[in-house]
């Protein structure tokens, strides 16, 4: 299981103002998430994100997440924003808040 830096940024951006979580709580949660593989963007990943954006007509930030997942050979992206069941650059999107979601299907 891996996270892109973009996902960490989006989490912090959502948790603080929208979920009204305290900074100390968000920092603690970020430290837990950092135990996973964190994918940093590279120039190649940024270029690939631009290609993905054009091919799939997704936003820049979503394209960055897809490019990071593709570069790490991930099979699945968990997202409520992208179309569940669709494949982007060979990576399937699954909505973790959708009916019947079972994380154990994806964790070894």
The domain limits of the chain are 2-105
pLDDT above 90 (res 90): yes
Half-sphere exposure of 72 (CA within 13 A, CB side): 22
Q: pLDDT of 20-30, one tens digit each? A: 899 999 999 99
C-beta neighbour count of 55 within 10 angstroms: 12
Q: pLDDT of 51-72, one tens digit each? A: 999 999 999 999 999 999 999 9
Candidates 3.30.420, 1.10.287, 2.60.40, 3.40.50; correct CATH number of 2-105?
3.40.50
Q: pLDDT of 1-10, one tens digit each? A: 889 998 899 8
3-state secondary structure the chain: CEEEHHHHHHHHHHHCCCCCCCHHHHHHHHHHHCCCEEECCCHHHHHHHHHHHHHHCCCHHHHHHHHHHHHCCCCEEECCCCCCCCEECCEEEECCCCCCCCHHHCCC
Q: Please tell me the pTM assigned to this model.
A: 0.84
């Amino acid at each position: 299981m891996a996270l892109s830096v973009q996902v960490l940024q989006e989490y912090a951006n959502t948790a603080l103002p929208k979920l009204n979580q305290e900074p100390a709580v968000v920092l603690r949660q970020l430290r837990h998430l950092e135990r996973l593989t964190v994918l940093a963007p590279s120039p190649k990943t940024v270029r690939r994100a631009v290609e993905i954006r054009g091919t799939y007509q997704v936003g820049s930030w979503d394209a960055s997440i897809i490019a990071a997942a593709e570069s790490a050979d991930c099979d699945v992206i968990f997202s409520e924003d992208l179309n569940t069941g669709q494949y982007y650059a060979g990576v399937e999107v699954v909505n973790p808040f959708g009916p019947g979601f079972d994380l154990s299907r994806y964790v070894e």
